[in-house]
Amino acid sequence: MKANSHFSIHVTWAVKGAAVLLLLFHHLFFNSPGYVDRYEVSSVPLSWPVLNSLSYYAKICVSVFVFMTGYGMAVRMKTLDTKQRQKYTLSRFLKLESTIIFLYLFAILTTVLKPSSLLQYFKEGRLKGILLMVIDGLGLANFFDTVRLIGSWWYLSFAIFLIFLMPVMLKLYEQFGFSTVVLAAMISMFGIDETYAVGLYLFTFTLGIFLEESSMIPHIRTFCTTHSGLLKCLAVFLLMFIGCSLIRIRWGFYPWMNGLCALFLVLTLFTIVDLCGLRLIPLEILGKYSFPIYLTHSLIYDHYLTRIVYSPKNWILILAWMTVLCLGLAVALEALRKLIRWDRIRLWHLADL
């Protein structure tokens, strides 16, 4: 596979970093109206209706992560045969589980600060409580509609589902091409209730596969060899991202706009980072630690340090402060993970045997 047939790791990190900022913004100011009232948070220089609307829009972060899962797995699996794809799927699942379990154990240890949070597991007895903890610790709670220690961990079950869905969707795309994207768009909008994640994000996931399989990235590289071509691409991608975002905010069409917003955000950042050569270092750093930040940020703003998080009062300062806290915890946890050699445990490498 040629190096320029897909975008660089710097784009991947920048995209995930942008998604992390959207995630924090969404949870801090949309899902927490009680907090913003209690701690007298200021919306300056925005009005509260605008800030509320933007923080709701920021849920697009989920679409970005789904899109990158589709694209990233397509890059890795494109040249593999059926047996190799099965092996890669299992390997990807085990590596995801290694992170989920490690961070779940950390979250459980932190409950010494708030022991009552464990009681939700044991409302129907000790044995069932232990079973519920195992299910939650494997990231499967949303599959079984059981108790989650942290509400935002609903995405883990969907992420696992996407890993095993990927070989099927990739095979469909190889057989039917762009028709697969059209079918996914129709199913997403008209075939599945939007209350289910697959209804909201199937089109987005398929668009990620399309970006890799269509060879769009090398075509864009070719077109952008001139300065004028580069400026045209950047302008088009940025305007399309803004346009799709405005449609999503004003009229919804979530299953379609989720995917298109994610696509044009990725293409915009690809143009800036890879084609313009502008490194977005802060976003890249956040992107490198995006998964531990996602799994632990609720512990900071919702479980233990709420008053400290909202203490700066202004929403911009709160977002910046929360980002620093989350990144600091993620770096510390990754260092601990390396120190205890967690990733060397044989279980996570069964697919490699």
Q: Which of 2-11, 41-50, 53-62 has the lowest mean pLDDT?
A: 2-11
Q: Which residue blocks in 177-274 are alpha helix, DSSP H?
A: 179-186, 197-213, 216-223, 227-251, 254-270
DSSP annotation of 68: H
Q: How far is CA 106 from CA 60, 135, 210, 216, 330, in A?
A: 28, 16, 37, 41, 11
Return mean pLDDT, the chain. Answer: 93
pLDDT at 140: 96
Contact present, 11 and 276 (Cβ < 8 Å): no
> Is pLDDT at 198 greater than 50 in this prediction?
yes
DSSP annotation of 189: I
Contact present, 162 and 205 (Cβ < 8 Å): yes
- With a CB cutoff of 8 Å and minimum separation 6, the contacts of 45 are none
> Is pLDDT at 241 greater than 70 in this prediction?
yes
The mean pLDDT of 152-166, rounded to a whole number, is 95
Confidence of residue 1 (pLDDT cuts 50, 70, 90): very low
Question: pLDDT per residue over 86-103, tens digit each?
Answer: 999 999 999 999 999 999
Burial degree of 131 (CB within 10 A; 0-12, 13-18, 19+): middle
DSSP annotation of 62: H
pLDDT at 282: 96
Taking the alpha carbons of 324, 326, 329, 331 in that order, is the dihedral positive or negative? negative
pLDDT at 117: 87
Q: C-alpha dihedral over 263, 267, 268, 270, to 10 degrees? A: 140
How large is the angle between the packed helices 60-77 and 9-29, nearest 10 degrees? 160
Residue 108 token pair: 């459980």
Contact present, 258 and 200 (Cβ < 8 Å): yes
**Domain ranges in the chain?**
3-352
The mean pLDDT of 255-273, rounded to a whole number, is 96
The mean pLDDT of 325-332, rounded to a whole number, is 97
End-to-end CA distance of the chain: 25
Percent of the chain, pLDDT > 90? 79
Contact present, 145 and 292 (Cβ < 8 Å): no
pLDDT at 5: 79
> Is pLDDT at 130 greater than 90 in this prediction?
yes
pLDDT at 147: 92
Q: Which residue blocks in the chain are alpha helix, DSSP H?
A: 9-29, 33-38, 48-57, 60-77, 82-110, 126-137, 141-144, 154-176, 179-186, 197-213, 216-223, 227-251, 254-270, 281-288, 290-298, 306-309, 315-339
pLDDT at 185: 92
The mean pLDDT of 303-328, rounded to a whole number, is 95
Question: pLDDT per residue over 167-196, tens digit each?
Answer: 999 999 999 999 999 999 998 888 776 678
HSE on the CB side for 318, CA within 13 Å? Answer: 28
Confidence of residue 33 (pLDDT cuts 50, 70, 90): low
pLDDT at 110: 94
Contact present, 205 and 67 (Cβ < 8 Å): yes
Query: Alpha-carbon distance 77 to 88, whole Å?
Result: 8
Query: Alpha-carbon distance 248 to 241, whole Å?
Result: 10
- For residue 42, report the phi and psi dihedrals to the nearest 5 degrees: -95, 140
Compute how many other C-beta atoms are within 10 angstroms of the C-beta atom of residue 183.
16
Residue 311: alpha-carbon gap to chain centroid: 27
Query: Alpha-carbon distance 114 to 149, whole Å?
Result: 12
The mean pLDDT of 106-116, rounded to a whole number, is 92
> Is pLDDT at 245 greater than 50 in this prediction?
yes
Residue 202's nearest CA partner among 220, 221, 187 is 187
